[in-house]
Chain A
Amino acid sequence: MRFVDEYRNSELGKRLVDRIHRRSKKPVRLMEFCGGHTVTIFRHGIRQLLPSTIEMLSGPGCPICVTANADLDKAIALALLPDVIIATFGDMLKVPGSYSSLQGVRAEGGDVRIVYSALDAIRIAQRNPDKSVVMLGIGFETTAPTIAASVLEASREGVSNYCVLSMHKMCPPVIKALLDSGEVRLDGLVCPGHVSAVIGSRPYDFLPRDYGIACVVSGFEPLDVLQCVDMLVAQIERGEPAVEIAYRRGVKPEGNERALETMWTVFEYCEARWRGIGAVPESGLRLREEYRSFDAEVAFEIELPPPREPEGCLCGDILRGVKTPLDCKLFRRVCNPEHPVGPCMVSSEGSCSAYYLYGENNGNG
């Protein structure tokens, strides 16, 4: 399989591992921001292959995991309304909110449908003119342009029974918030691949400049990640942190201009709530004034009981990189993929799920 096999070649992989071992002298702490990278690292056992000088932390880059319960509760409440159809990407279904989940609401008769694209949600709206279709806008800069495109399409085609509940999150602002909290000290960042395909590598320029943190954008195959780690170690050993792209086949410094234009036509920055991190200014997206009629927040007024967190669940701390799933008393004992307590166990990109599925001996320590 071209463009995959080359990046899983075990001979090349072993050579990269050797090079990292030779190069790495100082103890360093690297964070992979993105849940997709966490899965690659665990699935291929990459942590076991790295020298003891390199500590890897998993970051908050799982869009489902970072969605705050207050927002999940809103989506779940909408699903309970008569004449509302919720359209969502499949991984949202099992995520527990404060009191229920979309899956639970569906079992009670709520109309929740899984779509692979927001454009499918528009088709559902067209086929059900007497109902309102609410697309759950979940995801980072990667999915936001596609949701924006669906709003433009609905606007063009006059689909007035379609709207979006925007819970989108932006990566660079939350990385800054994490660092400013002072809880996590990092030497290098494995920058997200798909997000950077949209925003480019320039939005990370503040990290080496203001925080002295090495940055390399990585792809999702094991060799991509190893190459990225090698480049990060080289930057750190040289004492010259910078922003580099290891994922050149997917990412340009300027990003994808068309996707960005689509996104900013429909959305504007707003404050967003992050699980475990709290409210972060300008880290979310809301619909611009001219597209307000497609905003579920405007279309529906819902009163919600105050959100609550499951007792003992450490998802918030795990997302900040200050705890690992092994620190959680619920992990494996009460919380597993069949009966997830927190979102990091539900999402296929969540740290808890990766630790559970691929073995905790892949974790540090």
Chain B
Amino acid sequence: MGTDDRILLAHGSGGKLSHDLIESFLPLFDNKLLDKLDDSAVFQIEGRLAFTTDSYVVSPIFFPGGDIGKLAVCGTINDLAMSGAVPLYLSLSLIIEEGLPLDDLQRVMASVKKAAEEAGVNVVTGDTKVVNRGNADRLFINTSGIGVVPPGVDISGSKAKPGDSIILSGTIGDHGIAVMSQREGLEFSSPVGSDCAPLHSLVADILGVSDQIHCLRDPTRGGLASTLNELARQSKVGIRIEEEKIPVREGVRAACELLGLEPLYVANEGKLVAVVPGAEAKTVIDIMHKNPYGKQAIIIGEVVAEHPGRVVMKTGLGASRIVDMLVGELLPRIC
């Protein structure tokens, strides 16, 4: 592969090569706001806005079930969705290490396009920087997102109440294990793919059948255990879950055994936890089962008044134990 096929420092210089590179992306994100190529995208939105930002540094940048591009779109969309917002616009900012094959960059950008299209959001502004070899690891992406929160929707991690049911949208640990097994060169007979997915349609479905959703959260870094602990602390309530109810894919369980990890602490990128009043749980589960990203939704536990701030799990043998926050770094650079 010659230098023609790789990112050079000059691609980030602001000159001819930069221009050509940006031009090559434009057709992918065909929209009026971006095509103007002004310094900022200018638009009008009515209503309450949700605004979020996230940086993606996952290594490797390609992994089973996704890549850094898809992750950068879905991650930010999901942050908006967990506030109940309908995502509208994204920014996309690339920090590229000198020497990255152009083909890899094009693959990532194609994946950004596909994910944005599926989610129905537009990338309306962006930036590209190139840094010297060794000053970044291949490709880092930052995305920010803006969405509108429909009237009446008020979702927060501090609203869980005793009597609420805890709903989990599907299997846990898929993303973390997909990235980890790729990184460590582990091969399994049934390979685990990342669950990376945009969850705003699932959230829209949930909000469509119930106006009493208390909390929504996507258990990314730190896994389900950390998310439940955050909710218990923010809402000053106790949470009880049952080990046997929590769905874990066979391959994820096997990999966790091998790597000495607990699925409860392994990252997800396409799952959500919904805290809803017990009486609403069945309606919410039923609608979730109809969405491709909620087919395995299940009630895994309940909110209680006892042991505020703590998560307690009933083990398979019928004993109980505390499930704490993730301490230390389980798997670095997982997203």
Residues of chain A whose beta carbon lies under 8 Å from any beta carbon of chain B: 1, 4, 8, 10, 13-14, 17, 42-46, 48-49, 94, 222, 336-338, 348, 356-359, 361-362
Check B316–A8 contact: CB distance below 8 A. yes
Q: Which B residues contact A (CB, under 8 angstroms)? A: 244, 250, 253-254, 257, 260, 312, 315-322, 324, 327-328
Can you give 20 A-B contacts (C-beta < 8 A)? A1-B253, A4-B254, A10-B316, A10-B317, A10-B318, A14-B317, A17-B317, A42-B321, A44-B316, A44-B319, A45-B319, A45-B320, A94-B328, A222-B317, A337-B327, A356-B324, A357-B324, A358-B321, A359-B320, A362-B319
Residues of chain B contacted by A356 (CB below 8 angstroms):
324
Closest to B244 in A: A10
Q: How far is the CA of A49 from the CA of B318 in the complex (A)?
A: 8
With A358-B321, A358-B322 already in contact, 14 other A-B pairs whose C-beta atoms are closer than 8 Å: A1-B250, A4-B257, A8-B316, A44-B319, A45-B317, A45-B318, A45-B320, A45-B321, A48-B319, A48-B320, A49-B318, A222-B316, A338-B328, A356-B324
When distances are taken between beta carbons in the complex, the residues of chain A under 8 Å from B321 are 42-45, 358-359, 362
Q: B315's contact among A45, A337, A357, by CB below 8 Å, is which?
A: A45
User: Closest CB-CB distance, B199 to chain A, in whole Å?
Assistant: 28
Q: Is the CB of A4 within 8 A of B320?
A: no
**A-B interface pairs (CB < 8 A), number:** 60
Q: What residue in chain A is nearest B320 (Cβ atoms)? A: A45
Q: Which residues of B contact A1 (CB under 8 A)?
A: 250, 253-254, 257
Nearest-neighbour CB distance to chain B for A351, whole angstroms, equals 15
Closest to A223 in B: B317
CB proximity of B259 to chain A, nearest CB, Å? 10
Q: Is the CB of B327 within 8 A of A49?
A: no
Please, which residue of chain A has its CB at the minimum distance from the CB of B321?
A358
On chain A, the residues within 8 Å of B322 by CB distance are 357-359
Alpha-carbon distance A94/B317, docked complex (angstroms): 33
Residue on B nearest A47 in the bound complex, by CB: B319
* Residues of A with C-beta under 8 A to B315: 43-45
Closest to A348 in B: B260
CB <8 Å contact, B327 and A46: no
Give bound CA distance, A44 to B313, whole Å.
10
CB proximity of A341 to chain B, nearest CB, Å = 15
The residue on B at minimum CB distance from A359 is B322
Find B317's partner among A13, A336, A357, A361 (CB 8 Å cutoff). Answer: A13
Closest chain A CB from B135 CB (angstroms):
19
> A328 to chain B: closest CB distance in Å?
18
Contact B324 A49 (CB under 8 A): no
With beta carbons under 8 angstroms apart, the residue of A8, A45, A338 that contacts B327 is A338
Inter-subunit contact B317/A46 (CB<8 Å) = yes
A336 to B326, CA, bound (A): 12
CA distance A43 to B324 in the complex (A): 12
Chain B residues near A43: list those with CB within 8 A. Answer: 315, 321
In order of increasing CB-CB distance, the 5 nearest A-B pairs are A45-B319, A359-B322, A337-B327, A48-B319, A10-B316
